[in-house]
Structure 1
Amino acid sequence: MGDEMTFFAAYETVLRRWPVEVRSVDVPSPYGSTRVQICGPKDGVPLVLLPGGGVTSVAWFANVGSLARAHRVYAVDLMGDIGRSVHDGAPLHDADDLMAWLDTLFDELDLDGAHLCGHSYGAWMALTYALHAPHRLGRLALLDPANCFAGMSLRYLVRALPMLLKPTAERVRAFHRWETGRDPEDPAWQAFLDSTATTRRSKVIAMRRPKAQDLSACTVATLVLLAERSRAHDAQRVAAAARRLLPEASVTILSSASHHSIPTERPAELNHLLTQFLA
């Protein structure tokens, strides 16, 4: 209980750092309730944000100030992952269940026509949803997407293994420092990352790479922003594959970013490119 209280206290601390007024809602679904942080003008074009695995909706603290100027932002705690979404309904077996969960979220919040943006695991989920329900989306933005266009680095996966098998705050911090080359600039974000070590996920779905023929048929306007210093995969290889598989997509490599420093560290260029694309 103490570990859980520490985690939720750190979660709320980061959420209070958001530079905009936020309303938190719990959206029902057959899988359980989904926590969504809502901000921005009520008449703004809806923008749904799906975070990377293990970091929750609060991870967008460095981006919502820019994104919420023109958009009604819906930042989601992923079903099955840590956070304030409660997975107490139907089991999550595979990507089809995640897509059904997102369908319910879009239904309940009336999000048809929304733009969709995801990071890492959330980017894989966002791309999968764009292939599942392209008619429901405006535009699609993928931030250093994991296992979407090319495989992940074996070295990265091996390095992550001790943290996944027996997580501690020290192991989480060491892995983050190895991947990004530095500690986070925001101490509240560091404290949140530390607190995730003892928080359990109910079900994280394995990321199956989309088929080439499905990607080539994708009709959703897409932006792919890759981290040049990402250790999760080879950014140049992913960029080449994305350009080949999604020839209409805009693909950009951010020189100062790593996989885990998107979108929280030094976000000015990322925010500029995102808002420009979504406009």
Structure 2
Amino acid sequence: MPKIGRFTSDEAKADYLRIYDAWAERWPIPSTVVDVETSFGTTRVRKSGSGTGAPVLLLPGTSGNGLVWQRFIEDFASERVVYTPDVIGWPGRCVQTAPVRDGADVAKWVVETLDGLGEDRVHLAGNSLGAWMAGMVGVYYSDRLASLTMFEPGGATFAKPKWSLLLKFLAAGLRPTPERMRKLNAWLTPRAQ
């Protein structure tokens, strides 16, 4: 059953948001922060750059947030407006109030975020799981896209994953402990260690 993303404790939330805010202060170009109300909760979006034409909206990979684009934002925003949202239900400054149940809900959340930003069409790009999310917008709301770009989409974006992969996720998710989640994350991102 889909759940609402939350921190494990008030202390964990305070620690995370302190680090998040310190990282946000390092954003290399002028930007504004907008909180957009959607039917899934409040979405935090950072707006950078200026220019004419359809803006760019960038979706991060698994458990990422809009700040992951920091090292690329100067190039992306050199000629256009670029939006880098946190993902509802993932670590960041969104406040989720309703579960996101499937790909249709993901697409609806992105489109409601665009509506809240006052944007009709965007160049939508996503990395990894964000690429799958972008693909869902293409499936359900292609009229809202000026273009669709997928950076390093996972195998499950285009094909069914192997049972061994699903079993790894199941083993970690049935009884999630900090240690199991660390092991799964280390396995998923071996070069990030």
TM score, norm. by length of structure 2: 0.80
In structure 1, C-alpha distance between the alignment counterparts of 2:169 and 2:43, rounded to whole Å: 27
Question: Do 1:25 and 1:35's aligned partners in 2 also have CA atoms closer than 8 Å?
Answer: yes
SS across alignment from 1:33: strand
- Cα RMSD after superposing both structures: 2.5
- 5 Å-filtered alignment, 1:41-190, equals 41=50, 43=52, 45-88=54-97, 90-146=98-154, 147-152=156-161, 164=173, 165-168=176-179, 172=182, 175-176=185-186, 179-183=189-193
Tell me which amino acid in the other structure corresponds to 1:110.
G
Residue type matched to 1:179 in 2?
T
What CA deviation, in whole Å up to 9, does each residue of 1:171-228 have, x standing for no partner?
5378437733353xxxxxxxxxxxxxxxxxxxxxxxxxxxxxxxxxxxxxxxxxxxxx
Counterpart CA distance in 2 for 1:74 and 1:181 is 27
Report the count of equivalent residues.
Answer: 181
For 2:31 and 2:164, locate their aligned partners in 1 and report how far apart those are by CA, in whole Å. 39
Which ranges of structure 1 fall in alignment gaps of 5 or more residues? 184-279
Post-superposition offset of 1:33: 1.0
Matched residue, 1:31: 40
- Is the CA contact (8 Å cut-off) linking 1:18 and 1:65 kept in structure 2? no
1:135 partner SS? helix
Query: What is the CA–CA distance in structure 2 between the aligned matches of 1:93 and 1:171, rounded to whole Å?
Result: 22
Task: Return the alpha-carbon distance in structure 1 between the equivalents of residues 54 and 127 of structure 2.
Answer: 20
Q: Secondary structure at the match of 2:91?
A: coil
Q: CA deviation at 1:120?
A: 1.8
Q: Normalising to structure 1: TM-score of the pair?
A: 0.57
The 10-residue stretch of structure 1 (113-122 or 152-161) with the greater mean CA deviation from structure 2: 152-161
Q: Distance in 2 between matches of 1:171 and 1:92?
A: 21
Cα distance between partner residues in 2 of 1:110 and 1:54: 26
- Residue 29 (structure 1) shift: 1.4
Aligned to 2:4: none
- Structure 1 vs Structure 2: percent identity of aligned residues? 29
Letter of the structure 2 residue corresponding to residue 140 of structure 1? L
Q: Would the alpha carbon gap of residues 163 and 6 (structure 1) be closer, same or farther in structure 2, given more than 3 Å must change?
A: farther
State the shift of 1:163 in Å.
Answer: 5.7
How many Å apart are 1:154 and its aligned residue?
5.2
